[in-house]
Each structure stands twice: as C-alpha cells, then as structure tokens.
Amino acid sequence: MKTLKILPLFAFAFTILFSCTKVLDKRDLTALQPDLVFNDSNLSVGYIDYIYNQNLPTWGGTSGTLADRSDESYGDNKYIEGTLTVDDVQDFGTSLTSSSSPWVKIRAINDCIQRVGAGTLSNNLKDQIKGQAYFFRAWRYFELVKVYGGVPLVLTPLPAVGEANKEAAALPRSKTSECVAQIVKDLDSAALLLPGKWDDPANNGANWGRITSGAALALKGRVLTYWASPEFNPNQLTDRWEAAYQANLQAKTVLEANGYGLNPDYANMWYDEVDNPEAVFVTEYNTTSDDQFKKNNPYDNSTRPKVAGGSGSSNQPVRELVDAYPMIDGKQPSASAYTYDPQTFYNNRDPRFYATIAYNGCTWTLNNIEYPRFWFYYASGSTYAPFTALTTETSPSNTGFFCRKAINPLLSASEVPYIGTDWMEIRFAEVLLNLAEAACGTNRLNEAYDQLIAIRQRAGIEEGADGMYGLKAGMTQQEMVNAILLERKIEFAFEGKRYWDLRRYKLFETVLNGKRRTGTAYTFQPSADIPTHDAFLQVRDALPLDSAYKNNMLMEPKQMDTYDINWRPEYYFFALPQTVLDNNTALQQTIGWPNGTFDPLQ
C-alpha cells in the first residue's frame, strides 16, 4: 500500500519551475523562454513532465470507463437514448486558449519537438525528450481520430491566438488515412529514440511511468488494430490487418525483451507500485491530501460501496456482464462440465469473476476488514420497491452488484478519497489480445489461440484434458473474433475498453439496440427453518451460501433502463460542434450529420 507517492512526472516539473532559486533570481519562468528551457537539462525535463501532466489519461482512459454506454453498467445518457446533437460531443475542443483543449496541448508538444533540437542539451537527452513528445502527439491525435476520423494535422506550433493569425489556423480536416500515417510515424520515431526500460536504480523509481520504446510500439499496435477494425475498415482490407499483426508482434517482442509480461496475480496487479510487468503505459496517482501536489485516483471513491467509505454510485455491473463470465473450465454454462444453477450463479466461475464482481453474500475485504458475508438485500417486501429494511449496505447497488476490481482492500475509510492506485492504460494483456485479433485478421489462427491461452492460463481457468483452457478447437475466423471480443469483455471489464470495442466493431445495434439492461433485486423470504428475518440475522454468516440463496433469498429481475437503447449509426463518427465550424470555415462536418460532407473512411 502506498502511503505517499507524488507523481514524479508532475512534481518534478513543479519543483523545477518553483524551486530553482538560482534561475528565479534572474528570470521570470512563467513564460518558459525557450532559450532558457532547452539549454538547461533540469528545465527541459520539467517541460516534458508538464506535457505528461497535460496528456496522461485518467482512470478508464481519456474519456473514463464509459461503462454506462455499454453492457457493463447502466446510465441515462444521450448516447444510448439516441438523442445526441452536433454540440454534445466536445472532444474536439471549442477553445484555442483553454488548457484542456487538445489543440493547446498539441501546440505545447509541437513547441517542444521544434525547439529542443536547437538547444545545447546532450544528444541523448534531446532524443529522450523528443521521443516522449512524439509519443504524446501520437496519443493526442489518436484520441481525436477514434472519435471523429480525420482532423487537421498540425505539426508545428501555430502563431499566437488572435484575429491576425486566425486565417493561418483555419486548416481543413486531413484524411483519416493521413492522420493514422502520421500517428504511426510519430510512434516509430518515439520507439527509435526511447529506451526499452528506464534505468534508474539510484533514483528510487523516479522514472517509473515514463514512456518506453515498448509503450510506443504497443500504442502503434492498438492504433493499427483500430484502423483494421470494421468501423474504419468496412471492406476488411487485408493489408491493414497485416500491418496490425506486424506492429503488435513487434510490441510483444520488444516488451518481453525488457522484462514486461503478464502479472501473475490478476486480482492484485493494480497494487504493484514500481516495475509492475503488466504496466506498459501507466498514469501514476498519489495519496496526499495536499492541494499543491495531490493527484488522487477518483475511480475507487466513486466505485467503492458507501458502507466502506466510497459513494458506490458508479460502475455498478449489470446482469448482462455478470452472466457473460464463463465457468472455471473456461466454457459457457451451457457447455460446461460444471452444473450451472441461475439461483447460485456465483459458483464455479472464471476466477476473474470474483476479482471483478461483488455479489450479495460474497466474502470481501474492505477497509482492512474481512466481511465474512457482504449482504445487500432487502428484508421485507417481495419486490424491489419500496426499499425497506435494507441490511448492511446503507446505499445499495441499484443493479444488485458492485465492482470490486482495483478497489484496494487494505485502506481505511478515511484514506479512500486520497487513493493512489495507478491506472494502466495499456496492460501487457492488451498487447497479447491485440496480437490475437490481428493474427485472426490475417488467418494466423494458431497464434490467436496462443495469446488467448496465455490470458486464460494467467486468469486461473482450468487447462482441461485438451490443454485448450475451455476454448473451442478448430474455430473459424468469425468464431475466433467472437472469442477474442468476449475475452476482452471479461479481461478488461470496467477498464474503458468495452465501449470502444462495441464501437470499432459496430456492434451497438446487435448487442444493445432495442434492449434494456437489467439488474437483480434480492429480498429475504422466510422458510420453515428460518421463519423470520431476525432469525436469519443470527445465522446468515454461518449458513452455506447456497442454502441462504435457495431458501431465504427471493431473486427478481430488475429493469435498469427506462427506454429501449437506440444507438444511431452516425455515432460511429461524431459531429464537430457548430462553434468549431463557425470559427474555422475550412472545416467540413462529418457525413451523417446535418450538412455533413467529410468522409471519415478516406
């Protein structure tokens, strides 16, 4: 457990800018003059650390987990309601001065790339700074492209904002293919300039979290896998899949050569502080409450049950996710050697189920206290409304389940708001599954099997007599695609991947449209042996859980959505906000939206 870990990449920059008294005696650093910054090794590192702080993704990715827009959780929003307008998606940025604008961030990155070469730094430090800057320019552009398709490519710092420079900044949208090519070029440059692993044994892990060549190649693999997916590649051009395969294979090879791999502990890998082999691209958090330095992880507090100090309001699993997990032999309930009973659905499941799903009556350590049974049922009434006589949980899960992934079991309730659990944007597991997907796309099905088996072996699924860990032998390409997407759904639950998988495979219409996500409501019911709830309270923690469920738990389906889901086909590439179009008349609106003429598939 971390007691205090300042994010090195931000805190070091802050220290450089505000503690270098020798420099402050002579110059005002608020303008960060390039002749000063890129001639000073400390200030130049501080500048690239500022770029990290501006561009690192938050928990769940840049946009969060988006679980409420998929079949992981639920929530009332315009995306699933089908009522988005052109102004609802603001990822493009509507301001050229706000620090949150992607274009302001890109300008700082471009400024770094352009100016660092002219400084007097050592060639090695110049390469390291440029490599990191190239990575984040690629990251910034990919985050735009996966939402909009092609966007303006700006590779040099634009003139300062103002009417005189407005025309120079009025750039048209580049083709999506051009954007992807530039992203790949930047990542190739980053991989050439950066080390495979930062060697800093004397610095107590101060460089932990910096981008490596393997991280750059892993992001390249992700980018090209998206580019080959049906959203961007409706005609399934095989050269795109081949490029994705080669990129992901190279990423895996380079990462393994530098000590990366699957963390042996799926449930607890989030709590490894430094040198976690799974963490390819990571955002660090700390546990300080000091406003000057704090960078606390908001995920745990919003996900943890209220009784354990959190709000418990986010990331509540729906029954559709709960039912997606295979049995411990890796097979779906209908094909498993283990008997499946819907009443005792929690028995003999994939071990990742227990690392992710908290269900009524489960054993769960929270606040360093082991709950022998974590109960959140209702004691009276045969329906889930009105909620009366709730037991244990003062604010229950609406779906009947909580998410327990990456919820640190050892912290006290007072520490929860200041959680320091790091976010792994790219895990080594994703590199393997991206490789599996690209191998499938190029009909290298045996290689796809190899990656799935490695993932399932680490998860703790039984090997089986055939050594297939529950996978069907002799799958077709389409069956393999389905198997990989299911594996990603299980492996990356609540990690911000499922929404993008549904999007890039254009699966919203078949998976969600016309449906309503569901939960489960539990209510105590009397039995011959336990006729009252008071009697149940005396024995419930000692009862076999199966007995409690079968004899004293009434389980009822609960509809979470109040309307049928209606994701619309134009949402696969969002509209540019009208204010953006008004400010830059050279931009075209996306096809499928009012007056749209820009084709994101080019």
Flag whether 70 is in a domain: no
Flag whether 146 is in a domain: no
Q: Among residues 115, 145, 121, 117, which one has the least CA distance to residue 33?
A: 115
Flag whether 553 is in a domain: yes
Write the DSSP assignment of 559-578 as a string of letters.
E--SS-----GGGGSPPPPH
Cα distance between residue 525 and residue 25, in whole Å: 75
| pLDDT bracket for residue 6 (50, 70, 90) | very low
Average pLDDT of 324-332?
98
pLDDT digits (tens, 9 = 90+) for 174-232: 999 999 999 999 999 999 999 999 976 545 678 889 999 999 999 999 999 999 999 99
Which has more pLDDT, 435 or 31? 435
Whether 474 has a pLDDT exceeding 90, the answer reads yes
Q: Among residues 518, 520, 555, 523, which one has the least CA distance to residue 536?
A: 523
Flag whether 77 is in a domain: no
Flag whether 36 is in a domain: no
Residue whose pair of structure tokens reads 């892993």 in the numeric block: 218
Q: Give the pLDDT of residue 10.
A: 39
Q: Which two tokens stand for residue 505?
A: 């495979």
Q: Give the pLDDT of residue 274.
A: 77
Q: Which two tokens stand for residue 434?
A: 């991206």
Whether 329 has a pLDDT exceeding 50, the answer reads yes
pLDDT digits (tens, 9 = 90+) for 250-290: 999 999 999 999 999 999 999 987 789 999 999 999 998 88
| pLDDT bracket for residue 79 (50, 70, 90) | very high
Whether 48 has a pLDDT exceeding 80, the answer reads yes
68 within 8 A of 75, measured Cβ to Cβ:
yes
Flag whether 388 is in a domain: yes
Q: Give the pLDDT of residue 25.
A: 33
Which has more pLDDT, 95 or 109? 109
Flag whether 430 is in a domain: no
Q: Among residues 230, 223, 598, which one has the least CA distance to residue 430?
A: 223
Q: Give the pLDDT of residue 13.
A: 41
What percent of the chain has pLDDT above 70? 89
Whether 421 has a pLDDT exceeding 50, the answer reads yes
Q: How many CB atoms lie within 10 A of CB 372?
A: 11
Cα distance between residue 401 and residue 358, in whole Å: 6
Cα distance between residue 486 and residue 445, in whole Å: 16
Q: Which two tokens stand for residue 35?
A: 């002749």
Q: Give the pLDDT of residue 125.
A: 95
| pLDDT bracket for residue 3 (50, 70, 90) | very low
| Helix, coil or strand: residue 16 | helix
Q: Which two tokens stand for residue 77?
A: 């929003």
Which has more pLDDT, 427 or 42? 427
Number of domains in the chain: 1
Q: What are phi and psi of 416, to 5 degrees?
A: -60, -40
Q: State which residues form the domain around 545.
A: 298-419+518-559
| pLDDT bracket for residue 167 (50, 70, 90) | low
Q: Which two tokens stand for residue 468?
A: 């297939």
Q: Per this entry, what is the length of the chain?
A: 602
Flag whether 455 is in a domain: no
Q: Which two tokens stand for residue 449?
A: 């099997």
| pLDDT bracket for residue 385 (50, 70, 90) | very low
| pLDDT bracket for residue 21 (50, 70, 90) | very low
